Amino acid sequence: MTMSTTVRQLLDLTIEDHTLTVPLVWDDASDPRTIEVFARVVSRAGGESLPYLVFLQGGPGHEAPRPFHSSTAPAWLDGALAHYRVVLLDQRGTGRSTPVGDHDLERGTDAVAEHLTHLRADAIVRDCEAVREHLGATTWSVLGQSFGGFTTLAYLSTDASSLDDVFITGGLSAVGRHPDDVYALCYDKMRDASERYYRRFPEHRDVMRRLVERADAGDIVLPDGEVVSRSRLRSLGSALGTDDGWQTVWSILERDPSSNAFRYDLMHAMPFDGRNPLYFAFHESSYADGHATRWSAERTEPSDFRDDPTLFTGEHIRREWTETVPAFQPWRDVTLALAEHEWPSIYDADAIASSGATGAAAVYVNDVYVPMEFSLETARLLPDVTLWVTSEHEHNGLRSGPVLSRLIDLAHGRRLR
């Protein structure tokens, strides 16, 4: 394993950049392939000896936020730095950790699909362990947002002794469930979110019907050349899973669909895009705890969603997008191959239950991505992780409110304010 480190000062922050070369396939010493894993350690002046907190980003397929960029600096970071040195890890395949991109497709479908099978949460855990050892930490705490919470459960399945407190926000994944169970329940959540939206803005139901008619006629063309299908248009509802996402939906539906503003805003509001192809190609695998997904979200679509095109969808990807979305067309064969891949189990319920994990977790009542029902089921495996079940925030509560501060208070035995 090779590594490099750089340190610099930015205002009152110390920034340490660490790059490690690690195996692509951790459990096969005969496989010579390696990748780079990048982690950025952030500390405040006077906090150089605080314990470490590693942040595991949501996704899968997104890099960690950058602490000094105005559009990506996480709101929770300042509060975290009062207690920890924060490790911002670019998960393998993202950011500066040998990112997956269109250039990889030159290697051929089979090679790229096989490569992506080694980017799951269990491999990210092994990368975390390499970074922890490189930093000289005997143990550290972890903050897992959404998919980062899934990865935290994988961590507790194999290396719980390396963890102090665990903080999970919207990331208590279903354990031992088929992905069909999850995506079917996510439709129920999106049905509720759709109806809540239309109760507030009933006039937008007819607007949505007219937009679907335009989409079916091929009349909504985005600046990147995508001819928007009805399934892509309905995926705008993914925004309803965030605290202020209704404002995004409202502002788009009130616009003239022939205007530049409508076309550009719609393009940026729909989930999944070409910037992070791993997010689209790899998404359903995040719920594959020992199963092939075979387009789970598509197969579990309820009849009322097929009959009523005004019902919004969330992170429900569709096979047709590999043909209709320009950014996804090059990834068609890779995505189809991954949909048929038999993913091994990633969680060990017995190990999680015996991990002795401590900390706190936020479970969002109206979460349209990680359903509360399965989160509460998984929480029963973690009796010493204090739950905060709340409707105060949606899935992005970590970014939009003082969620981490509340979880730290809970973990330290302080009452919520």
Domain boundaries, the chain: 3-176+345-411, 179-340
Residue 400: its pLDDT value, please? Answer: 77
3-176+345-411 placed in CATH 3.40.50.1820: yes
Candidates 176, 175, 182; CA nearest to 299 is 182
Please tell me the predicted confidence (pLDDT) of residue 398.
Answer: 94
CB contact at 8 A, 368 and 189: yes
* Residue pair 228/257 in contact by the 8 Å Cβ criterion: no
Q: How far apart are CA 330 and CA 277, in angstroms?
A: 10
CA nearest 250: which of 215, 204, 211? 204
Q: What is the pLDDT of residue 68?
A: 74
Indicate the pairing of strand 3-10 with strand 13-23.
Answer: antiparallel
* Integer Cα distance of 370 and 253 in angstroms: 26
Rounded CA-CA distance 140/80 in Å is 13
291/339 Cα distance (integer angstroms): 10
CB 93 within 8 A of CB 119: yes
Alpha-carbon distances of 193 from 25, 256, 323, 346, rounded to whole Å: 41, 24, 28, 30
Q: How far is CA 63 from the centre of its chain?
A: 10
Rounded CA-CA distance 399/53 in Å is 17
Res 185: pLDDT: 98
Strands (E), 91-241: 140-145, 163-169
pLDDT tens, position by position, for the chain (417 residues)?
A: 566 677 666 668 899 999 999 999 999 999 999 999 999 999 998 898 999 999 999 999 999 998 876 556 788 999 999 999 999 999 999 999 999 999 999 999 999 999 999 999 999 999 999 999 999 999 999 999 999 999 999 999 999 999 999 999 999 999 999 999 999 999 999 999 999 999 999 999 999 999 999 999 999 999 999 999 999 999 999 999 999 999 999 999 999 999 999 999 999 999 999 999 999 999 999 999 999 999 999 999 999 999 999 999 999 999 999 999 999 999 999 999 999 999 999 999 999 999 999 999 999 999 999 999 999 999 999 999 999 999 999 999 998 778 999 999 999 886 444
Residue for token digits 């799951």? 120
Residue type, 285: S
Q: What is the pTM of this model?
A: 0.95
Q: Cα–Cα distance between 384 and 401 in angstroms, integer?
A: 24
Residue 76 and residue 128: Cα distance in Å, rounded?
21
H or E segment and range at residue 86? strand 85-90
What CA–CA distance (Å, rounded) separates 175 from 247? 33
Question: Between vectors from CA 350 to CA 410 and to CA 144, what angle results, nearest 5°?
Answer: 40
* Both structure tokens of 310: 């005004």
92's enclosing H/E stretch is none
Backbone angles phi, psi at 169, to 5 degrees: -125, 110
What is the Cα–Cα distance from 91 to 296, expressed in whole angstroms?
Answer: 25
The residue among 177, 172, 56, 178 whose CA lies nearest residue 121 is 56
